[in-house]
Amino acid sequence: MSFAVTLSTVLMMLAYSVPGYLLIKFGKIKSGHISDFATTLLYVCSPFQTVYAMHKIEYSGYMVRYLALSLALGMLLMGGMLLIVYCVLRRKQEIVAYRIYTASSALGNCGFMGIPMLEALMPEYPQGVAFASSFFLAMNILMWTAVSFIYTRDRKYISVRKIFLNPSSIAMGLSLILFFGRIQLTGAAEEFVTTLSKMATPLCMLILGMRLAAIPLKPMFTRPGQYAASGLKLVVFPLFALAILSLLPVEREYVRTLYIICCMPVGNLILSFAEILGEGQDVAANVVLLSTILSMATVPLMTLIV
């Protein structure tokens, strides 16, 4: 893949974070209000990004098979990576930071960064963004089951109800109704969905910039564990995924699509869950921000492989 295109796309995404950083530093927005922006991202922009991705495709047996395959592979790849890292670090799971590192090893920013990355790198393969949404749904399922247990070490936090009643799952359900009903969005409805979807990536990066300005920088760059967690997500997990994907009898473009998604940095959901559960927020924020910064170098280099 084109190194220049990948690098320019990553740099553009990171550039969106600069205004957010400056808004906090100059006191135009209080750090306590960052969660309000995150709520808008989670409950408005993210669901419409899923609907946008799905409305770009037409119903066919091929799409049904590959959407299901993307969900299954998401569960296999991310779940497998989580299990491996959890087993390796099982004796340190009493420490909150290591639970964050475990979850960070596989769960990436496959929606807010992954979808625009796919659109930039693979414009000839529009169905790729739909597969990314299916992969993201697998991540949500894991967040409310395996990751909830890893974070809390308590099965009571595993919520089957929230697997189905979260913004991403609801959006995917609506998208599948449109997909199987062969209902195409046109005119004002299509523009509405597209506009809110396109807001997702800039808003995500604005929030990251705000969080970067609101926390001390030294702890983010001086803790070896955070570099290790970032390395697992940015390098080890994509290679692990590529090794498995290469064994499958699927088209090359499909392998490239899921591989690119796996190359994305640690996802914001890692921090969102830490905030919901009330512990590990500083470590989660540091890992998300550090991996996003490092992705400026790793994503262009990793995509050269395919």
Interior angle at CA 83, CA 78 and CA 86, nearest 5? 120
Residues composing the chain: 306
Output 32 or 1, whichever has higher pLDDT: 32
Q: What is the largest CA-CA distance in the chain?
A: 56
Mean pLDDT of 191-198: 93
DSSP at 57: S
Question: Could you report the per-residue pLDDT of 120-168, keeping only the tens digit for each?
Answer: 999 999 899 999 999 998 998 898 888 888 888 777 667 777 778 788 8
Beta strands, E only, 59-203: none
| The pLDDT of residue 269 | 80
pLDDT band (50, 70, 90) for residue 234: very high
* pLDDT surpassing 70 at residue 34: yes
Q: Rounded to whole angstroms, how far apart are CA atoms 215 and 101? A: 19
Q: Rounded to whole angstroms, how far apart are CA atoms 188 and 203? A: 22
Tell me which of 47-61, 204-218, 243-257, 273-287 is least confident: 273-287
Q: How far apart are the first and last CA of the chain?
A: 7
Q: Rounded to whole angstroms, how far apart are CA atoms 109 and 264? A: 6
| The pLDDT of residue 106 | 95
| The pLDDT of residue 157 | 66
* pLDDT surpassing 90 at residue 185: no
| The pLDDT of residue 306 | 83
Q: What residue spans define the domains of the chain? A: 3-300
| The pLDDT of residue 154 | 73
| Three-state helix/strand/coil letters over 229-295 | HHHHHHHHHHHHHHHHHCCCCCCHHHHHHHHHHHCCCECHHHHHHHHHHCCCHHHHHHHHHHHHHHH
CATH of span 3-300: 1.20.1530
DSSP at 94: T
